Amino acid sequence: MNNNAYEIYAVHIDESIDLPEYLELFSSEIRNHILSYRNHSDKLIAFASALLKYYYLPSLLGLSRQDLVIKEDVYGKPYLVGFPEIDFNISHSGKYVVLGIAYGKKIGIDIEQINHKIDLDLGQFVFSSYEHAQINSVYDFYRLWVKKEAYLKCQGKGFATDLYQNTRLNTKLTETNQSHEIYVNSLAQDYVLAVCVTI
């Protein structure tokens, strides 16, 4: 999923990977962060995220790893120091970690593994009444979920606002309002992905 303004990259996590062999790729700070997770699967997610951020991202941008400095703003959204025209976002679920990069735009991305046994009534706690009324299936629920997450992450405010309840998104695969475009697609069986970019 890409166009001239943004690109999306995905990593499939291999549970059999010998993680210690690759940890030397990173600084001690990043290694300690990866190893701070108790479960092996969580360590692999942190490893894949670090790989995308500290190896793949600078390669895509034509930068050396030494020139890439990533910090977080007050809302916890990562940004590249010295490159205000480039925005990026990372999300993970199940066996996938995804990276979204936008050029001259803001971007938010979310991926979720579909749980077919989810209680659809949970929607009343995370969606506005307008959104919740549109949920007729588990696919509607997850399309709205990833769109809302991607939208909030694109705004850069995460869940620090009341927008989680007050947005008016729909279950269509493509949605455009005055300031954002949101697209939904399947990444793999039972995985749904949304990307939101500013217009």
Could you give the domains of the chain? 6-198 (3.90.470.20)
53-88 pLDDT, tens digit per residue, is 988 888 888 888 888 888 888 877 888 988 889 999
At residue 87's C-alpha, the angle toward residues 83 and 91, to 5°, is 140
Higher pLDDT, 162 or 21: 21
**pLDDT confidence of residue 156:** 80
**pLDDT confidence of residue 111:** 97
Residue type, 19: L
| Residues 9, 14, 17, 23, Cα dihedral to 10° | 30
Distance of alpha carbon 81 from alpha carbon 79, whole angstroms: 6
Helix, strand or coil for residue 84?
Answer: coil
How many alpha carbons lie under 13 Å from residue 85 in its C-beta half-sphere? 4
Of the candidates 56, 53, 45, 1, which has an alpha carbon nearest to the alpha carbon of residue 19? 45
How many alpha carbons lie under 13 Å from residue 157 in its C-beta half-sphere? 9
Mean pLDDT calculated for residue range 193-198: 96
| Distances from the Cα of 105 to the Cα of 21, 77, 98, angstroms | 37, 15, 18
Mean pLDDT calculated for residue range 158-182: 81
The reported pTM is 0.89
Please check whether residue 132 is in contact with residue 74, taking contact to mean a CB–CB distance below 8 angstroms: no
